[in-house]
């Protein structure tokens, strides 16, 4: 049986006498996991605990079946880590820096050199690889950090706020790279971000933290499959027969003042059928807003609700 | 992940042995060091005193050369324990200067831009990291202390003959052991300073301060209190005390200055040096963390 990607067993972490993570319990099975939460929720602390930088004060966390504390070294040999903050040796050329990191990971010098060049070209910094990392722009430094995280071919890639400080085209390129890496191999991905779009575009499962507790564990694939369509209508002349006809099609309707109606449509009903019913009943549709439940809804919902004892909502 | 394919691929090849992986840090540090012309000049200069010591040995063993001197053949040139004690004192001071230049950059470079978490997120522990950096100084300072001393010892043994080697072979142990003590203390101190102060010039200054300010304070203490115990804060003197005892010096005058054996016991000198090493380890332990602990 395959090990879950991350297994949290009542994980509690204290730093400086303060409890940062409060008994996290949950199992994350997907290959691409997003870690969401507002600032100070404990995302980076959880990542640091996974990497063995902090010892759990209670409970444990396992990554691919390996305990972060007891099997720390073994676990770290599988990991590629891209930290949130600046992490480089400024006087070294980009390719030398990545080669150095690959050698520290255990690659023989020749292979490390080869993989460093490959990683640099792969992330799109081929032309800048001989320049000192200190002279790179912010976006280039992010890519250099990604290069050092993948050069040694890890099985688990941990990315902490990878798109921080990047302009939209650079961000798009980085997200594409992350998706490419995910799809090109059997690598497991843990991406921490406060940008919902980054997580939505790259991950299959989301762990939402709030105040050091699990606010939600959400399977995005399942959620996308079961997602329902919402229509927000502003109408003139809508009577009870309009909503009852829609309900007859399988929709759920909620009527508000000034002709505003919210409609939840099953997958079998198309929008054109709503227009048809409106035309038949002589109802004017002045405004229509069509949307699906997004990660933002899931996130906001998790932020508003109190977590259940097991952390699930 | 071949360049032409532009696709990510896992690494399935062989890996280097874990126990020798700290040497990667040493190798990279040496490459960086030898890229600096100033360092190469400094290293060459630090071996210059050895040339003079070698000339002295040659002089001591060559009657022909002695005859060319104004005073003719003489017994003034003797290569004995005192010769090696003095050589050790000179070379350990040279090592101190070399250490002041090399030590401060070893860890600071990694800490300045937060590279430490990258090392520690790999199968690489903090102690291996320190060992890797320590090896740089250990190898470098060995090259100017016990290695040239042993070389000159071998030279003297080769030139003197007449059983000189067997009557002086015991000196190999103090040469190696005392150098090791000095190298360990200097290396740990400069690594601790490097982990604490990021600017090279400031770090170099801090190492000097760590040596000379306590010594000055100790002398002040001696003057005020009318004692010799303030000398404990003079780390160089404490090392000389150990060195003199290890080389079986009967009289400490000339090597230790006004200090005498019974004023500062040798175990106290050992205690001071061990304490300094422990203090450096405490600083390293506090500073070499992948993440700062949140207080309050």
**Entry pTM:** 0.84
Determine, for residues B1 and A153 on separate chains, whether the beta-carbon distance falls below 8 Å.
yes
Return left, alpha or beta for B161; rule: phi > 0 is left, psi -120 to 50 is alpha, else beta: left
- Stretch A168-197: mean pLDDT: 89
For B:111-170, CB contacts with A below 8 A are: 112-115, 117-125
**3-class secondary structure for chain A?**
CCCCCEEEEEEEEEECCEEEEEEEEEEECCCEEEEECCCCCCHHHHHHHHCCCCCCCEEEEEECCEECCCCHHHHHCCEEEECCCCCCCCCCEHHHHHHHHHHHCCCCHHHHHHHHHHHHHHCCCHHHCCCEHHHCCHHHHHHHHHHHHHCCCCCEEEEECCCCCCCHHHHHHHHHHHHHHHHHCCCEEEEECCCHHHHHHHCCEEEEEECCEEEEEEEHHHHHHHCCEEEEEEEECCCHHHHHHHHHCCCEEEECHHHEEEEEECCCCCHHHHHHHHHHHCCEEEEEEEEECCHHHHHHHHHHCCCCCCCCC
pLDDT for position A166: 87
- Stretch B72-82: mean pLDDT: 78
Q: How far is A17 from chain B (nearest CA, A)?
A: 7
Using the predicted structure, report yes or no on whether residue B62 has a pLDDT greater than 90: no
Give the side-chain half-sphere CA count within 13 A for A303: 12
Looking at chain B, the whole-number percentage of residues with pLDDT higher than 70 is 90
- Stretch A18-39: mean pLDDT: 92
Q: What pLDDT band is residue B253 in, cutting at 50, 70 and 90?
A: low
How confident is the model over B215-243, as pLDDT tens digits? 999 999 989 998 888 889 999 989 988 99
Closest Cβ–Cβ partner in B8, B16, B115 for A122: B8
pLDDT for position B11: 87
- How far apart CA A26 and CA A16 sit, in angstroms, is 25
Using the predicted structure, report yes or no on whether residue A131 has a pLDDT greater than 90: yes
Using the predicted structure, report yes or no on whether residue B6 has a pLDDT greater than 50: yes
B11 in contact with A, Cβ within 8 Å: yes
The answer to which of A18-27, A175-184, A237-246 has the lowest mean pLDDT is A237-246
Determine, for residues B114 and A134 on separate chains, whether the beta-carbon distance falls below 8 Å.
no
Q: Which residues of B touch A121 (CB under 8 A)?
A: 3, 6
In chain B, alpha helices (H): 23-34, 37-61, 63-68, 81-112, 116-120, 126-142, 146-160, 164-168, 172-196, 200-225, 235-246, 266-287
- How far apart CA B120 and CA B130 sit, in angstroms, is 11
Closest Cβ–Cβ partner in A44, A79, A152 for B11: A152
Q: What pLDDT band is residue A305 in, cutting at 50, 70 and 90?
A: low
pLDDT for position A309: 42
**What is the average pLDDT value for chain B, to the nearest integer?**
88
Closest Cβ–Cβ partner in A87, A104, A108 for B113: A87
How confident is the model over A141-152, as pLDDT tens digits? 999 999 999 999
Length of chain A: 313
Residue B73 is given by DSSP the state S
Q: Which residues of B touch A79 (CB under 8 A)?
A: 121-122
Determine, for residues B295 and A185 on separate chains, whether the beta-carbon distance falls below 8 Å.
no
- Stretch B269-279: mean pLDDT: 95
How confident is the model over A235-255, as pLDDT tens digits? 988 778 888 898 888 888 888
For B:63-122, CB contacts with A below 8 A are: 109-110, 112-115, 117-122
Q: What pLDDT band is residue B293 in, cutting at 50, 70 and 90?
A: very low
Question: Quick one: closest CA in B to A103, which residue?
Answer: B24
pLDDT for position B106: 92
Q: What pLDDT band is residue B49 in, cutting at 50, 70 and 90?
A: very high
How confident is the model over B129-155, as pLDDT tens digits? 999 999 999 999 999 999 999 999 999
Q: What are the boundaries of each domain within chain B?
A: 19-287
Using the predicted structure, report yes or no on whether residue A209 has a pLDDT greater than 80: yes
Using the predicted structure, report yes or no on whether residue A1 has a pLDDT greater than 70: no
For A79, list phi and psi in degrees, rounded to 5.
-105, 145
For residue A4, give every residue at least 6 positions away whose Cβ sits within 8 Å of its Cβ, in sequence order, or none: A27, A28, A29, A62, A65
Closest Cβ–Cβ partner in B6, B114, B294 for A86: B114
Q: How far is B165 from chain A (nearest CA, A)?
A: 44
**In whole angstroms, what separates CA B123 from the centre of its chain?**
29
**What is the average pLDDT value for chain A, to the nearest integer?**
88
Determine, for residues A107 and B13 on separate chains, whether the beta-carbon distance falls below 8 Å.
yes
pLDDT for position A313: 35
For residue B159, give every residue at least 6 positions away whose Cβ sits within 8 Å of its Cβ, in sequence order, or none: B57, B58, B61
- Stretch B13-23: mean pLDDT: 93
Using the predicted structure, report yes or no on whether residue A26 has a pLDDT greater than 60: yes
Determine, for residues B10 and A115 on separate chains, whether the beta-carbon distance falls below 8 Å.
no
pLDDT for position A77: 93
Q: What pLDDT band is residue A312 in, cutting at 50, 70 and 90?
A: very low
Enumerate domains of chain A plus CATH numbers.
Answer: 6-224 (3.40.50.300), 229-295 (3.30.70.100)
Closest Cβ–Cβ partner in B1, B24, B294 for A122: B1
């Amino acid at each position: 049986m395959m090990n879950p990607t991350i297994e949290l067993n009542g994980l509690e972490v204290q730093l400086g006498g303060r409890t940062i993570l409060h008994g996290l319990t949950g199992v994350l099975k997907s290959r691409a996991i997003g870690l969401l939460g507002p600032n100070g929720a404990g995302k980076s602390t959880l990542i640091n605990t996974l990497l063995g930088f902090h010892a759990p004060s209670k409970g444990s966390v396992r990554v691919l079946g390996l305990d972060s504390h007891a099997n720390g070294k073994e676990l770290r040999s599988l990991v590629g880590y891209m930290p949130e903050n600046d992490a480089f040796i400024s006087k070294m050329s980009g390719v030398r820096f990545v080669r150095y990191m690959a050698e520290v990971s255990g690659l023989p010098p020749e292979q490390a050199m080869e993989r460093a060049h490959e990683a640099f070209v792969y992330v799109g910094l081929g032309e800048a690889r001989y320049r000192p990392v200190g002279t790179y722009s912010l976006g280039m430094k992010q890519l250099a950090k990604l290069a050092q995280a993948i050069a040694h071919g890890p099985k688990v890639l941990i990315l902490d706020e990878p798109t921080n400080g990047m302009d939209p085209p650079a961000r798009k390129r980085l997200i594409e790279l992350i998706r490419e890496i995910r799809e090109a191999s059997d690598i497991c991905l843990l991406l921490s971000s406060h940008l919902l779009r980054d997580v939505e575009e790259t991950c299959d499962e989301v762990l939402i933290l709030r105040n050091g507790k699990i606010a939600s564990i959400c399977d995005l694939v399942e959620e996308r499959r079961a997602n329902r369509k919402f229509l927000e209508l502003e109408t003139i002349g809508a009577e009870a027969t309009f909503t009852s006809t829609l309900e007859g099609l399988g929709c759920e309707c909620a009527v508000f003042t000034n002709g505003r109606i919210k409609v939840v449509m099953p997958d079998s009903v198309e929008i054109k059928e709503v227009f048809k019913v409106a035309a038949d009943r002589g109802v004017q549709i002045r405004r229509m807003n069509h949307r699906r439940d997004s990660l933002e809804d899931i996130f906001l919902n998790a932020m508003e609700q109190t977590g259940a004892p097991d952390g699930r909502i | 992940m071949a360049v032409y394919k532009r696709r990510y691929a896992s690494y399935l090849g062989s890996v280097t042995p874990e126990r020798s992986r700290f040497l990667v840090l040493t190798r990279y540090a040496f490459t960086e060091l030898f890229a600096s012309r100033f360092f190469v000049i400094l290293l060459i200069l630090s071996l210059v005193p050895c040339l003079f010591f070698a000339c002295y040995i040659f002089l001591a063993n060559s009657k022909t050369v002695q005859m060319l001197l104004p005073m003719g053949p003489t017994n003034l040139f003797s290569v004995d324990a005192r010769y090696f004690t003095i050589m050790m004192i000179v070379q350990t001071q040279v090592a101190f200067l070399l250490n002041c230049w090399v030590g401060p950059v070893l860890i600071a470079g990694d800490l300045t831009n937060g590279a430490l978490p990258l090392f520690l997120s790999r199968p690489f522990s903090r102690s291996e990291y320190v060992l890797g950096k320590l090896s740089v100084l250990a190898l470098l300072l060995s090259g100017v202390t016990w290695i040239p001393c042993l070389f000159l010892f071998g030279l003297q043994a080769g030139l003197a003959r007449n059983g000189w080697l067997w009557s002086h072979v015991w000196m190999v142990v103090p040469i190696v052991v005392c150098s090791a003590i000095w190298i360990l203390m200097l290396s740990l101190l400069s690594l601790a300073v490097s982990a604490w102060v990021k600017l090279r010039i400031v770090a170099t200054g801090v190492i000097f301060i760590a040596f000379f300010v306590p010594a000055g304070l100790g002398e002040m203490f001696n003057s005020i209190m009318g004692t010799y115990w303030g000398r404990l804060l003079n780390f160089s003197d404490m090392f000389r005390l150990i060195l003199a005892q290890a080389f079986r010096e009967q009289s400490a005058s000339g090597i230790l200055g006004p200090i005498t054996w019974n004023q500062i016991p040798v175990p106290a000198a050992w205690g001071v040096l061990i304490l300094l090493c422990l203090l450096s380890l405490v600083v390293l332990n506090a500073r070499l963390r992948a993440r700062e602990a949140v207080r309050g």
